[in-house]
Structure 1
Amino acid sequence: MNSHRYPGTGPALTIHAGKKALEHMRQHGLQARDVAIIPAAAGGPKGLILQSLDQWLFGTWLAAAPRERTLIGSSIGAWRMAAASQADPAAAFQRLGDLYCEQRYPEKPTAKFVTDSCLQLLEELIGGHEHEIVNHPHYRLHLLAVRGLGLLKSPRGSFSAKAGFAAATLANMASRARLAGHMERVVIGDMRDPLFWLKARFDNFETHFAALTRDNLKQALLASGTLPLIMEPVRDIVHAPVGTYWDGGIIDYHLALPYSRIAGAADGGLVLYPHFTDHIIPGWLDKPIPWRRASLGRNREWLDNVVMLSPSRAFLHTLSLGKLPDRKDFFYYGANHDFRIQNWRIAIYESERLRDEFAAFVENPDLSRVKPL
C-alpha cells in the first residue's frame, strides 16, 4: 500500500480507545484475533468514506484471523455489514460504493420513487449473495430497525406519519426515555449468535429479536435504511413482529450499545468501530442535543473496550467542501448529478489514506496517537 498525504497536513486517521481497550493494546497491541464486535453507524453517504478501510479490514486483516464475530449496523451501516458478510467483501464494498454514488433523483422525488430506487440498489448489492450473507462461516450479522408505536403503529398516510414523528421528536427533546413510548428497537439477526450482551435490558426501549434469513434479508436491509417521510415505511417483515418499520438510526444512530459487557473475554473482547466522526450520538433525533453524546453520558463505561477509528479534521479539510459526503449534497448539487458523483468518488479515493494509516498502526502500534474515548 502506498499512503498518500497532502503536503502540510496531519494524520488522516484519528484513533480513540476506551480505558480497557487502551490497556489491552499496551499489553498485546491490536490483533485481529481479539476483535469480537464491529458496529456500523447510520449516516447515509458519510459511510462512503470508510470504503477502502472496510475493504482492507474485511478482505485482508480480519479474514487472516477467522473467528466468530458480531457485525451489527443500522441504515447505511447495515448495508455495509451486509457487504462485509459476502464471500468477496472487497468486491461487495466496491459495488456498494458504486451503487450509492450513482443514485440520481429528480428535484422532488416521491416516497415511492426513493423506495423503489433503494430496493433496486439492494437487489444489485445482495442479489445472488443471500446465502453467503446469512450463513457466513464466521460473521454473525444483525440489522437494526425501528418499529412504530402509538401514532406510528400503523399510519394511514403521510399526514398521520408526520404527526407521529412530530410527537416522537417532542418526546425525545424531553428525554430519550420518553421516545420509547413511540417506537421499539428490532434486531433482525443471526440466531447462531447468543448476543447475550445485547439481550439483557440496557435502556428504556423494548427490544425484539427476530431471525435473519434469505427470505427477509432485503426487506430487513430496506427497513433499516428507510428514512421517515422520505421513503415508504416497510410493513410486516417476514419472521419479525407485525408492524410498521423505519430506519434503525432513529433509535440507534451511532450504536451507543453496552459493548463493555464483553470486555475481558478470553477471546479478546474488543470492539473495533470504524466510524465517520469522532463522537457517538445515541439516536438520530439527538443530533441537535449535544449533551446526549454517549461519551458524556452516564453510560460512558459502555465504550471501555471500544477502539474507534475516524477521519481527522485535517483529512476533512482536504475533501471537496471541506466535509464528508452527506445527504445535503443531493440538494447542494441539484440536477448536476455528475459533479456530485465525481466529488463523492474523489472522497472514496482519498479514504485509502485512512486504510493505509490503520494498516501501519496495527503493524507497529504508536499508542501516543490514541486518544481517550
Structure 2
Amino acid sequence: MIQILKTTQPCLNIHVGYKAKQVIEEQGLQASAVDFVPGAAGGPKGIGIQGLDQAVFGEFFAQAPKKRTLIGSSIGSWRFASIAAHGAQAGTSKLADLYTHLEFRPKMNIIEVGDVCRGMLKALLQGKTNQIIDHPDYHLAILSVKSSKKFQSDHPLMLARAVAGIIGLNTFSRAKIGHFMQRTIAQPHNASRLSLIKNEFEHLDYALTEKNLEDWLMASASIPFLMPAVRNIEGADVAAYRDGGLIDYHIDLPLPSHGIVLYPHFTDQITPGWFDKFLKKRRSNAEYQARTVLISPSESYLRSLPLGRLPDRKDFTLKGLDQKKRIELWKQSVAESQRLGDAFLEMIHKQNFEEYMQDLK
C-alpha cells in the first residue's frame, strides 16, 4: 500500500491574471465562472497532477455543470480525452496506469516508439470516440502543428536541419517559426466551436470526428526525433502533423473567455512554445492570461516527492533507474497528487484564495 505523506507546507501555488484577480476578490472562485481549461504539453508531468485533475473535473465542476472548452496539446489533450471518455476518476487513473507501465526497449526506432504510444492511446480510448466528440459538458480542442515542406521529413538529418532553422528563427521572433509550421486546431464543428482571435500564428481549423480523433491525439503528442509525424489524417490537408507543444507548449492563447480560464498546470510559469524554454525572457502575454487562474504544485510539494519533482520523460532512460524502480516512484508521485486535489477543494470550501494568490507573470 502506498502511504501518502503528511505536511503542513502549502501544496499549491495560485497565480492569477489581473481580471481573474478582480473576479475572485468580488465573487470568489466559482465553478459557474469557468468556461475554458487549458492543458499543457509536458509528457508524464501530466499524470503527476492527477489528484488535482480529479478534484477539478470530478468535484468542482460538478457544482455547476455547463459546456466548457478543454484545449490541450500533447499530454494535455490526452488528459482531457481520458476524462471525457471515462470520467475524472476512472479516466485519469487509466491514463496514469497506462503511462506508468509503458516500456521502451533500448535503441527502438521512431516507428516502434510510435507504435507503443498508439497502443497506449487505443487502450486509453477503448473505442469511446463518440462519447468524447459529443460530450455534453466538454468541448475538446486538440492542438497540433502542420509541418511546412521544410519540416515534413522524419529522416534524422533533414529533421535536424529543420529544427536548427526553427531554433535560429525563434531566437529572433516567435512568429518567424511560422515558416516551418502552422498551428492546427481539431475540434467538433458544433455550436461550441472555438474561434481564436488571430495572434502571431494563423491557424487551421479541422473537424474532429470519430474517424480522426485517434490520429489527431497522436499528432498532438508526436515529438520530432522520438515519434514519426502523423500523416493522412481524414479530413485534413495532406501533410505531416506533429506535437502541438512545438507552438503551444503551455497554451498562451487569446482565449475568448467571459469568465475564468482555470489552468491546472505542472509549473507556475507559462512558456509559450517548446523552443521558448531556452529563452528566459520569452514569457506569456499578460492580456492573453488576464482571466487565468493558474494552479500548480508548490516547491515544497515537489521537494517532498520521491524524485524531488514530477515524473519526467527522461526517467525512462535515467541511469540507475530501472523499469521496476521507475514504476514504483511514479506510482508514489501519482498517489501523492491527491494532496493537490485536497488542497484545492479546501480552498474552494473556505474561499480563501486571496491568502494565496500571486500575480501571474
TM-score, normalization by structure 1: 0.92
Match of 1:368 in 2: 355
Match of 1:277 in 2: 267
- Are the equivalent residues in 1 in contact too, given 2:276–2:282 (CA < 8 A)? yes
Write the letter of the residue equivalent to 1:187: I
For 2:172, which of 146, 161, 174 is the aligned residue?
174
Taking the aligned partners of 1:156 and 1:277, their CA distance within structure 2 comes to 31
Count of residues in Structure 1 that have an aligned counterpart in Structure 2: 356
Match of 1:47 in 2: 46
Structure 1 residues 112 and 360: alpha-carbon distance in aligned structure 2, compared to 1, 3 A threshold: same
Taking the aligned partners of 2:171 and 2:149, their CA distance within structure 1 comes to 18
Match of 1:26 in 2: 25
Q: How large is the Cα RMSD of the aligned pairs? A: 1.6
**Residues 50-73 of structure 1: CA distance to partner in whole angstroms, max 9, x if unpaired?**
111112222222133111110000
Write the letter of the residue equivalent to 1:305: R
- Quote the offset at 1:335 in angstroms: 6.9
1:6 has 2:11 as partner: no
Q: How does 1:250-329 map to 2 (within 5 A)?
A: 250-259=246-255, 261-262=256-257, 265=258, 269-294=259-284, 299-329=285-315
Taking the aligned partners of 1:167 and 1:104, their CA distance within structure 2 comes to 32
- Are the equivalent residues in 1 in contact too, given 2:17–2:286 (CA < 8 A)? no
Match of 2:242 in 1: 246
Taking the aligned partners of 1:158 and 1:4, their CA distance within structure 2 comes to 44
Taking the aligned partners of 1:81 and 1:333, their CA distance within structure 2 comes to 32
Taking the aligned partners of 2:217 and 2:82, their CA distance within structure 1 comes to 11
Match of 1:66 in 2: 65
Taking the aligned partners of 2:81 and 2:59, their CA distance within structure 1 comes to 17
- Quote the offset at 1:333 in angstroms: 4.8
Taking the aligned partners of 1:325 and 1:218, their CA distance within structure 2 comes to 24
Structure 1 residues 161 and 23: alpha-carbon distance in aligned structure 2, compared to 1, 3 A threshold: same
Taking the aligned partners of 1:32 and 1:242, their CA distance within structure 2 comes to 41
- Are the equivalent residues in 2 in contact too, given 1:140–1:189 (CA < 8 A)? yes
Match of 2:113 in 1: 114
- Are the equivalent residues in 2 in contact too, given 1:107–1:334 (CA < 8 A)? no
Taking the aligned partners of 1:183 and 1:110, their CA distance within structure 2 comes to 24
- Consecutive unaligned residues of structure 1, counting only runs of 5 or more, are none
**Residues 266-296 of structure 1: CA distance to partner in whole angstroms, max 9, x if unpaired?**
xxx11000000000000001101110021xx
- Are the equivalent residues in 1 in contact too, given 2:47–2:92 (CA < 8 A)? no
1:330 has 2:332 as partner: no
Structure 1 residues 333 and 59: alpha-carbon distance in aligned structure 2, compared to 1, 3 A threshold: farther
Secondary structure of residue in 1 paired with 2:163 = helix
- Quote the offset at 1:172 in angstroms: 1.1
**Residues 127-184 of structure 1: CA distance to partner in whole angstroms, max 9, x if unpaired?**
22111000101210010001111311x3263322222122112111222111111100
Match of 1:230 in 2: 226
Taking the aligned partners of 1:341 and 1:272, their CA distance within structure 2 comes to 30
Q: How does 1:129-144 map to 2 (within 5 A)?
A: 129-144=128-143
- Quote the offset at 1:105 in angstroms: 0.8
Match of 1:217 in 2: 213
Answer with 38-47 or 58-67: which moved more: 58-67
Q: How does 1:327-366 map to 2 (within 5 A)?
A: 327-333=313-319, 336-366=322-352
Match of 1:81 in 2: 80
- Are the equivalent residues in 1 in contact too, given 2:12–2:343 (CA < 8 A)? yes
- Consecutive unaligned residues of structure 2, counting only runs of 5 or more, are none
Structure 1 residues 156 and 313: alpha-carbon distance in aligned structure 2, compared to 1, 3 A threshold: closer
Moved over 3 A (4+): 3-7
Secondary structure of residue in 1 paired with 2:62 = coil
- Quote the offset at 1:49 in angstroms: 1.4
- Quote the offset at 1:88 in angstroms: 2.5
- Quote the offset at 1:87 in angstroms: 4.6
Taking the aligned partners of 2:302 and 2:41, their CA distance within structure 1 comes to 19
- Quote the offset at 1:304 in angstroms: 1.0
- Are the equivalent residues in 1 in contact too, given 2:154–2:225 (CA < 8 A)? no
Taking the aligned partners of 1:313 and 1:60, their CA distance within structure 2 comes to 25
Write the letter of the residue equivalent to 1:322: G
Taking the aligned partners of 2:341 and 2:104, their CA distance within structure 1 comes to 31
- Are the equivalent residues in 2 in contact too, given 1:107–1:335 (CA < 8 A)? no
Answer with 31-40 or 239-248: which moved more: 239-248
Taking the aligned partners of 1:356 and 1:363, their CA distance within structure 2 comes to 10
Taking the aligned partners of 2:214 and 2:320, their CA distance within structure 1 comes to 29
